[in-house]
Structure 1
Amino acid sequence: MFKRLYDWTLSLAGSPRATPALAAISFAESSFFPIPPDVVLVPMALAKPEKAFYYATVCTIASVLGGIVGYGIGYLLYETLGQWLMNLYGYTDKVDSLRAFYAQWGWAFILIKGATPIPYKLVTIVSGLLEYNFLLFVLLSIITRGARFFIVAGLLHRYGDQARTLLDRHFGVFMALIIAFVVLGFWVAIKVF
């Protein structure tokens, strides 16, 4: 199953739909989708290492735009969609402690959580819910998401041949690690407060 996904992603990199698919996944992951864009970014950057930084740019822009939507969910739609998502992730009872924490450490929360496996959508929704300074939120999102994607792109650009050989042989392990990081991220996000 993972081998087919890997082959499909590599073939996608050569198609005209590659960049829009990467952008869509990056956008969705920042506001509601649970799967990180790395699942698509890594094979695409391996298929075309010369475009790794271009793909990182696409991921960063789409992720920040998706983060703005997530912020809007928290800010404008908390009573409906935002509350449902917060309940889904187990944060409904923790809003007051989040508010106190955000007042002092919101900037650090955004920078650190934006680069970790903790779901970024929680950061975006909470930032909107707590009415964190919007322009600062966008700036911090650009920094943290850009750093995350450009580090991945840089590593793949530099060590792409070795990484591709490893992924060709062990894509199932790579996918299992991604899934483990997602699950760990959700678990840590729930246990943080």
Structure 2
Amino acid sequence: MFSFLRRIYDWVIGASNSRWAFAVLVFVALTEPVFFPIPPEVVLMTMSFSRPKRALFYTAVSSLFTLLGGVISYLIGKFFWNATQDFFFKYVFSEELFKKASKVYDQNAFITIFTIGFTPLPDKVFLITAGIFSVNFSVFLLSYGLSRAIRYLIVAVPIFFFGDRVRGFVERHFNTVTMALGVLLVIIFLFVRYFIAKVISQ
């Protein structure tokens, strides 16, 4: 498994040095909130390793296009829900569960969207649901945009200031870093699951 991940890492590093690197970053950032499975941090990190002093610029690009992708998901939920709700109620979830899920946004839409956006977990369903429930668009933009910007800055700032040292550490301890990130993902997943379950059970 680690060798497979290392090959992916090395491939992305190579792609980040190609003339298509910027286009890849834009594509991943724009499509990840809609359907693409790879988080923008993968491309952001490797491009920043290649040019550490542009890390903050890459962060701004990632934040902007991720927010645009989030808006696309929001609009899908807002304008196409009426045409698809019968299918969802019949095959995906019950109408009762749908009403309970709305409590997640009724309680505090800002915190909910910020939490989902900040965690490195798939947020597509929640972005579409925000549109379905007509969450205030300004709140949506602020919470999702802020959460993703902070998320990307956590990756970019250390590279901006300590580029080669950060890259060297990651490459020397690749397996350990990968395992630590995996454990962190599990912890975050459990936290988000608990948070959502607690809200909709009230």
Under a length normalisation based on structure 2, what TM-score does the superposition of the two structures give? 0.78
Identical aligned residues as a percent: 29
CA deviation profile, 1:37-56 (whole Å, cap 9, x unmatched): 11221122112111111111
Amino acid aligned to 1:77: F
1:171 aligns with 2:174: yes
**Structure with larger Rg:** 2
Superposition CA RMSD, Å: 3.0
Tell me, yes or no, if the aligned pair for 1:70 and 1:124 is still in contact at 8 Å: yes
Structure 1 runs (4+) deviating above 6 angstroms are: 90-93
Structure 1 unpaired stretches of 5+: none
> Which of 113, 129, 142 is matched with 2:132 structurally?
129
Tell me, yes or no, if the aligned pair for 1:13 and 1:48 is still in contact at 8 Å: no
Shift of 1:100: 2.2
CA distance in 2, matches of 1:124, 1:99: 13
What does residue range 24-63 of structure 1 map to in structure 2 within 5 Å? 24-63=27-66
Instruction: Flag the 1:72–1:56 CA change in 2: closer, same or farther, 3 A.
Output: same
Under a length normalisation based on structure 1, what TM-score does the superposition of the two structures give? 0.82
Tell me, yes or no, if the aligned pair for 1:12 and 1:18 is still in contact at 8 Å: yes
Tell me, yes or no, if the aligned pair for 1:19 and 1:58 is still in contact at 8 Å: no
1:11 aligns with 2:17: no
Instruction: Flag the 1:121–1:180 CA change in 2: closer, same or farther, 3 A.
Output: farther
CA distance in 2, matches of 1:172, 1:93: 44
Shift of 1:8: 1.8
CA distance in 1, matches of 2:79, 2:180: 35
Structure 2 unpaired stretches of 5+: 198-202
Amino acid aligned to 1:113: I
Shift of 1:118: 3.2
CA distance in 2, matches of 1:181, 1:32: 23
Shift of 1:188: 5.7
Q: How many residues align?
A: 190
